[in-house]
Structure 1
């Protein structure tokens, strides 16, 4: 049975949203690129790498909102714990991508607040449908994010070892989240929902890459 959040919980969720959008994220694990030297990138290569890392950062902002909404409406404590754990790792991804953007002389996407709000609404809706579908949405989201990250590894400048190290670790983490959701009983989403998710992610990536 769905339990409505208390006022204190809602205040905590609002605080989480503010910290995701405005505070500097921190990472318990060492940054994957911590011991890698900066390589020389041309202006065009640096701009492209920054665009991809901005997309990845915005994707992690969306992930925080999705998991927050899904956890709020999850019925099973195990499902809720899995969503919270995944969200914790996504905070680390926020920290890694934010620092890399700074190193590349770039900025976070101006669309992040809008993307966060939309993702939170989607997460709440997914949770309301039921835990199996909630987990199915998590699994499919992580598969699609993994595919995006794999495509970034193909297009990042070959000498940008720092960005590559970050994306490679993120890719491993995302696929691990998808596997965990399946283990917990995720339902397979219908093809039209998967297609809608793919189309929505293309809009997000196009916006975040440029702005």
Structure 2
């Protein structure tokens, strides 16, 4: 019997996990499907696209985080829970992408960077401990919820479609954070929170532009 090296085992783990990572959304209806489009000015459309591009990139990063946190999670039930939440986040990603498309905009060209970087952050921050993963997720969802609140204030009141999407996303992000807390999330350190805020700020500023 061939004895695998630690590196071989590492690659084997990665391969096994990635086979599980063709993340599908849960198929929830588009929140704005029954809402009529509003006559928006070109400048309003441009601003809304920029804001939704940021939200879309945030959901891309969320996918990476959940994948990163689950890669070395040995408990199958815990891993399943992480991936189920990832599939719910995929709904948000698809909603943002659809709204951007409706307004003839484009998603960020930097999304692959946010995705791969978030996988790495997820792996490092969890260190294979589920309560650490939950703590990181709880803080992430808290910051995302605050960020969505800020965007809701910037969307023109007549744009009911975008507002409805963001309100639904915010509600579900808050539920994800509460779920993590109830499952025993370990609060992240102040230093980690600051790093998360810094990375998030960089992502928001760049995705807003490109």
Alpha-carbon offset, residue 166 of structure 1: 0.6
Q: Is the 8 A contact 1:139 1:179 kept in 2?
A: yes
1:154 to partner: Cα distance: 0.7
The aligned residue for residue 65 of structure 1 is: 64
> 2:93 — aligned with what?
94
Q: Determine if the alignment matches structure 1 residue 192 to structure 2 residue 199.
A: no
**Alpha-carbon offset, residue 42 of structure 1:** 1.0
Describe the superposition over 1:152-185 as per-residue Cα deviations: whole angstroms up to 9, x where unpaired: 1111111111111110010011000000000110
8 Å Cα contact 1:74/1:134 also seen in 2: no
**Structure 1 length-normalised TM:** 0.89
1:72 touches 1:127 (CA, 8 Å); kept in 2? no
- Cα distance, 1:105–1:26 mapped onto 2, change above 3 Å: farther
The answer for the alignment partner of 1:32 in structure 2 is: 31
* Residue in structure 1 matched with residue 19 of structure 2 by the alignment: 12
Deviation at 1:133, TM superposition (A): 1.1
2:147 is equivalent to residue 148 of structure 1 = yes
- Asked if the contact 1:96/1:166 (under 8 Å) is kept, the reply is yes
1: CA distance, partners of 2:145 / 2:181? 15
Structure 2 spans left out of the alignment, 5+ residues: 1-8
Runs of 4+ in 1 over 3 A off after TM superposition: 3-8, 75-78
What is the alpha-carbon distance in structure 2 between the residues aligned to residue 122 and residue 149 of structure 1? 22
Return the alpha-carbon distance in structure 1 between the equivalents of residues 179 and 99 of structure 2.
28
RMSD of aligned alpha carbons: 1.9
Secondary structure, counterpart of 1:144 in structure 2: helix
The residue aligned with 2:131 is 132
CA distance in 2, matches of 1:26, 1:179: 20
Q: CA–CA distance in 1 between the matches of 2:203 and 2:103?
A: 21
Offset from partner CA, 1:35-54 (integer Å, 9 cap, x none): 00000111111111001110
Q: Report the structure number with the largest CA radius of gyration.
A: 2
Give yes or no for contact 1:79–1:184 (8 Å, CA) kept in 2.
Answer: no
Q: Which runs of 5+ in 1 are unaligned?
A: none
* 1:126 Cα offset (Å): 2.1
Instruction: Count matched residues.
Output: 201
2:165 matched residue in structure 1: 166
TM-score by length of 2: 0.89
Cα distance in structure 2, aligned partners of 1:44 and 1:122: 36
Structure 1 residues 54 and 27, CA, compared in 2 at 3 Å: closer, same or farther? Answer: farther
